[in-house]
Amino acid sequence: MSKLSHGLLLSLLTTGLSACNNDASSNNVKPSASNQQNNEQVLLADFEEAALPSWIQRDHIQAQITKAAGITSGNQAIELTFDSSSEYSTLSLQPAKPWDFSVLGDMNLAFDATNTSDVSVHLYLRVNDTHQMQTRSISIPAHSSATYYADLSGPQISLDSGLRADPPAWSSDEFRMPYMTGNKLLDTSEIKEVSFYISSNIQDKQVILDNVRARSNPAIDPEYLVGLVDAFGQPAKSNFKDKVKSDSHLKQLAEEELADLAANPVLADRSKYGGWKNGPKLEATGFFRTEKVNGVWSLVDPEGYLFFSSGIANIRIANTTTLTGVDFKDDQVRYIDPEDVTPEDSLGIRPVSAKAQKTRYISSELRHNMFNWLPDYDDELANHYSYRRSTHKGPLAHGETFSFYQANLERRYGERYPESFIDDWEDVTIKRMRSWGMTSFGNWVDPEFYHKNQFPYFANGWIIGDFKTVTADGHGWSPMPDPYDPEFARRAKVTTQVIADEVKNNPWCIGVFIDNEKSWGNPASIESHYRIPIQNFKMDASQSPAKAEFTKLLQDKYGDIATLNRAWETNIPSWDSFAKKFDVEQINDAMIEDMSVILETYTSQYFEVVNSALREVMPNHLYMGVRMAAWSINPEGVRAAKKYVDVMSYNYYREGMHDSTWDILPQIDMPSIIGEYHFGAMDTGLYHPGLIHSSDQKDRARGYQAYMRKVIDNPYMVGAHWFQYTDSPVTGRAYDGENYNVGFVTNADVPYKEMVEAAREVNQELYPRKFKDAVK
């Protein structure tokens, strides 16, 4: 594959007219003339005053002027102490008048930091203009000093490459902070706040900051997005331990690992199903269930042994593909059956017909030239091409994909019969799980594992279809469903029947997750907390079953519209008017109280519909809920779920379970499970660490152990699942561009030794530690 020429790439960057953008004008941002004035900068803070000025605000953080180590500008710096008793700690720079950085042209914010702690610090940077914000973050290694920066403007910011994080656009000894959340395109002429903070700190830490400044960007490297990936799907521009160099090297690493697995089989204290063989034996029902034993919630395996689900989620090929920048003019490749029950990102390899391949064309030169190698269609590895009919985000709505991970499985194991390498992969995966001390798979395991009857698992499904929604736009991953729509109930039955047919009443199935991270409402603000009723009030009840239900609920409470108006301090003409459309302009306490009831009523209806469908066809398996996202755990959703699920489930991407957040568990008093968490780094060449950052592979392992031990020690927690089995593709997974270092194994299927050793240590102590107070 030929590389993109220097001139063409530079043109794409500076004009934004990328072939990979379906709406090229959205990237049409040109660099300013001052882009090359690299020596220009504006100093925000050097902390040379005798005391902190009033425009530097502190929240749950100790900040003091220091003249010790870490000073890079003048004679002083600021020392920040992050107290683990507080979930969030923030230092904010808030000038009396917004900073105007537009005079710098394309620019970045930089600061110098020294971590004096014994552990790494995951430090966030939040930048606010007058209307919006964005966050960046970085892991600062223990006992280290460096310069960190966040590029806020320039053509590399406005360009959508389809990667969650691009490589740095210029070479530097400094460390670029990957983008996390918010709006990438800030108004740099009106920056009103720059904040440094940490989240869910579970250990006291100290960082010294100095020389916070805004600077003009250096010149962009015209090849920074060219040739990112080698033939094994690895970062081509980085070297790291155990990077595969050839087919023979890959096989050598595989043989070494197989010998290690043989020498370290399943732990001696495990029952047939992975429960605690050395612990008490409770009632055996032949299926997994839950029980509270001496104040400690536990899963119980089919034989009656106490069971804790220590596992890894997303063990499947579906999320290993990446977009190649190729598409096909034949529309048949994009056909979607309306009765499908599997969403696009959960589908495995879907080959494109030879007929369709003849209509091939390059849809994105930019993406296509990220690869140093892709197989020709007559190559023996061409069977790892697939097609993505839709994407969640990124510049390409659809296109050809390739799975380097699956290609590496064929290289590793060979092919004795069609796709024998998949059978070999499944066998080795089970051996890994048992050898690493895991007790189960997490969510989203390939159904091919279901009937091997060797390792416990969770089944999963999605309720998708042409039912109505209660929100008009994307809410989290997608618009929220209308559970009052009969079509939603029908699709719930279709989905649960498919899951039941896959599981076949198998006792190795612990339970079932349905859907994922539904956005009940973010309690960070009143507007985001009650977004579902606020948006649904705008809908016409004749077209929205939920709006009709909410209208009836309010009519039953207030009777006439005048009573509602007095309570809400509104001037709604009639119930008919409210049913047709109501825009929330002001919110008072009475309205909040009613929206809370509506939100819980709505969420309860969702769980009732799903639970009813599941119980009808899978009465012997636990309903595990929807894995609530950390940003969408609100009281109404929790109360509703508790009425219907067997186990409360949460996806919680934080440093650990902070006591101030999880003090809700005694009130809920339900068995609970963490469905997703992870730690990632950038020392193996991937351009984004993931949601929670570590400084290197050793630090990832430390984070994993600290997180797991907090979960294990909690009497309400019955499991935790790392996300995910493999690293994301270097060029981003096809669905949403995630290119994270979050795997237990690389894209070449080589395990990270540090993670394996950490897992073995934690899981060796798992059961005696978890149930030390339950056995009396």
Q: What's the confidence (pLDDT) of residue 20?
A: 33
In the predicted structure, residue 529 carries a pLDDT above the cut 70: yes
pLDDT-derived band at 689 (thresholds 50, 70, 90) equals very high
Q: Rounded to whole angstroms, how far apart are CA atoms 514 and 498? A: 12
- SS (HEC) of 461-522: ECCCCCCCECCCCCCCCCCCECCCCHHHHHHHHHHHHHHHHHHCCCCCEEEEEECCCCCCCC
pLDDT digits over 201-226, tens only? 888 999 999 999 999 999 999 999 99
Q: What's the confidence (pLDDT) of residue 10?
A: 37
Q: What's the confidence (pLDDT) of residue 345?
A: 83
Least confident stretch, 147-151, 337-341, 422-426, 615-619: 337-341
In the predicted structure, residue 11 carries a pLDDT above the cut 70: no
Query: Two tokens at 14?
Result: 């500076």
pLDDT digits over 573-632, tens only? 999 999 999 999 999 999 999 999 999 999 999 999 999 999 999 999 999 999 999 888
Q: What's the confidence (pLDDT) of residue 6?
A: 36
269 CB-contact burial (10 Å; exposed 0-12 / middle 13-18 / buried 19+): middle
Q: What's the confidence (pLDDT) of residue 473?
A: 63
Are 662 and 717 within 8 A, CB to CB? no
Percent helix, strand and coil across the chain, each to the nearest 5: 30, 20, 50
Most confident among 53-67, 461-475, 671-685 (mean pLDDT): 671-685
The pLDDT of 622-650, averaged and rounded, is 95
pLDDT digits over 18-28, tens only? 333 333 222 22
Q: Where are the domains of the chain?
A: 32-216, 323-418
Q: What's the confidence (pLDDT) of residue 674?
A: 98
Q: What's the confidence (pLDDT) of residue 474?
A: 54
Q: Rounded to whole angstroms, how far apart are CA atoms 55 and 68? A: 24
In the predicted structure, residue 531 carries a pLDDT above the cut 90: yes
Q: Rounded to whole angstroms, how far apart are CA atoms 549 and 555? A: 10
C-alpha triplet 268, 272, 274: angle, nearest 5°? 70
499 Cβ neighbours under 8 A, 6+ residues apart: 459, 460, 461, 512, 614, 617, 618
Q: What's the confidence (pLDDT) of residue 774?
A: 72
* Largest CA-CA distance found in the chain, in angstroms, rounded: 80
494 CB-contact burial (10 Å; exposed 0-12 / middle 13-18 / buried 19+): middle
pLDDT-derived band at 71 (thresholds 50, 70, 90) equals very high
Q: Rounded to whole angstroms, how far apart are CA atoms 510 and 684? A: 35
Q: Rounded to whole angstroms, how far apart are CA atoms 475 and 548? A: 21
Q: What's the confidence (pLDDT) of residue 69?
A: 85
The pLDDT of 260-264, averaged and rounded, is 96
Are 127 and 133 within 8 A, CB to CB? yes
327 Cβ neighbours under 8 A, 6+ residues apart: 360, 361, 363, 396, 398, 399, 400
Higher-scoring residue by pLDDT: 211, 11 = 211
Q: What 3-state class would DSSP assign to 305? A: strand
Give percent above pLDDT 70 in the chain: 94
Provide the residue count of the chain.
Answer: 776
Q: What's the confidence (pLDDT) of residue 747?
A: 97
Handedness of CA 361, 321, 654, 297 (dihedral sign): positive
- Where are any strands of DSSP class E within 533-647? 622-623, 628-629
The DSSP result for 519-534, as a single string, is: ----TTSHHHHTHHHH
Higher-scoring residue by pLDDT: 342, 614 = 614
Q: Rounded to whole angstroms, how far apart are CA atoms 415 and 381? A: 11
DSSP code at position 378: T
Query: Two tokens at 131?
Result: 């209307």
CA distance from start to end of the chain? 66
Give percent above pLDDT 90 in the chain: 87
The pLDDT of 122-132, averaged and rounded, is 97
Q: Report the DSSP pairing between strands 289-293 and 179-182.
A: unpaired
Q: What's the confidence (pLDDT) of residue 3?
A: 36
Top-level class of domain 32-216: mainly beta
Asked, as a colleague might, if the bond just before 94 is cis with ω within 30 of 0, I would say no
Query: Two tokens at 315?
Result: 């063990």
- SS (HEC) of 657-711: CCCCCHHHHHHHCCCEEEEECCCECCCCCCCECCCCECCCHHHHHHHHHHHHHHH
Q: Rounded to whole angstroms, how far apart are CA atoms 357 and 742? A: 33
Closest CA to 450 of 409, 408, 499, 387: 499
Q: How many CA atoms lie less than 13 Å away from 263 in the CB half-sphere? A: 6
Arithmetic mean of pLDDT over the chain: 92
Is the pTM for the entire model greater than 0.85? yes
Least confident stretch, 113-127, 165-179, 656-670, 718-732: 656-670
Q: Rounded to whole angstroms, how far apart are CA atoms 436 and 760? A: 5
Query: Two tokens at 322?
Result: 């990446």
pLDDT digits over 347-388, tens only? 889 999 999 999 999 999 999 999 999 999 999 999 999 999
Q: What's the confidence (pLDDT) of residue 361?
A: 98
| CB contact burial 562-577 (16+ within 10 A = b; e otherwise) | eebeebbebeeeebee
Closest CA to 28 of 43, 41, 44, 12: 12
In the predicted structure, residue 5 carries a pLDDT above the cut 60: no
pLDDT-derived band at 668 (thresholds 50, 70, 90) equals very high
